[in-house]
Structure 1
Amino acid sequence: MVTQVPPALLRHRITVEPAAGEGAYGPQYRHAIPDVPALVDSSPRLVRAPDGRQLTASATLITGPTLDCPPGSRITLPDGRTTTAITVTRHTAPGLPVPACTEVVCE
């Protein structure tokens, strides 16, 4: 039974700076998590943000199920671009032979 995305499929490496809220000088982030295994899809697509706005996503990431990446987190992609997490979805299917993972849609 598959319990999480096989590491062999997560071919890219990203850096995640988890969002920690707003400060006096703008967004605040916790310590960076470097070298996070991920599968990066850089094809643009239209998505709806949690506040209802329609945005064009620049990348969609698939990572392991335990990634600490709340919406608003700063992410550095393999090509060096920096982006922001719009939505974060955890996919699970307990008891079924499908992998658990975290999907992050980025601005």
Structure 2
Amino acid sequence: MRAPTWLMPHRITIEPYIGESAVGEVYGPPGDPLPALVSETVRTVRDRTGREVTSTAQIITAPGLDCPPQSRITLPTGRVTTALHIAPHTAPGLPVPQSMEVFCE
């Protein structure tokens, strides 16, 4: 069961992180706006290296999101942030919705 889109009133745009080049970070083209539930609150989380960092926005989306850590995300307010950690929420065999949670700088 997927999280219903009516629970995701916001729209975000993601530029997926591809890697490093001689001139800096490389991103893919921005995708179409995606439905999401955005909460711009401050929380302490761990990044992909295990270091404690401060997340200033948390995003819930449908499962299967293509958003590698360090991807650029444009929030509904227009603020551009960076993905720190992506957590899938699944419960195989249970009647609860599946989703992805993205923690942002």
Gaps of 5+ in 1: none
SS in 2 for 1:8: helix
**Mean CA deviation greater in 78-87 or 16-25:** 16-25
Answer yes or no: is the 8 Å Cα contact 2:48–2:69 preserved in 1.
no
Partner-residue secondary structure (3-state), 1:33: coil
Give, as a single letter, the amino acid of the residue that structure 1 aligns with 2:34. V
**Residue 84 of structure 2 aligns to which amino acid in structure 1?**
I
Which residue does the alignment assign to 1:98?
96
Q: What letter corresponds to residue 58 of structure 2 in structure 1?
A: T
State the match for 2:35 in structure 1: 37
Map of 1:57 onto structure 2: 55
1:62-100 CA-to-partner distances (Å, cap 9, x unmatched) read: 001011001010000000000000001111111111111
Q: Which residue among 6, 9, 17 is the counterpart of 2:7?
A: 9
Which secondary structure state, in structure 1, belongs to the residue aligned with residue 6 of structure 2?
A: helix
- 1:73 aligned onto 2:90: no
Percent sequence identity over aligned pairs: 53
Number of aligned positions between the proteins: 105
The structure 1 segments of at least 4 consecutive aligned residues displaced by more than 6 Å after TM superposition are none
Query: Residues of 2 paired with 1:9 and 1:82: CA distance?
Result: 23
TM-score, length-scaled by structure 2: 0.96
Q: How far does residue 33 in structure 1 lie from its aligned partner after superposition?
A: 1.2
- Rounded to whole Å, the distance in 1 between the matches of 2:71 and 2:56 is 15
How far residue 26 of structure 1 moved from its aligned partner, in angstroms, is 1.0
Q: TM-score, normalised by structure 1?
A: 0.94
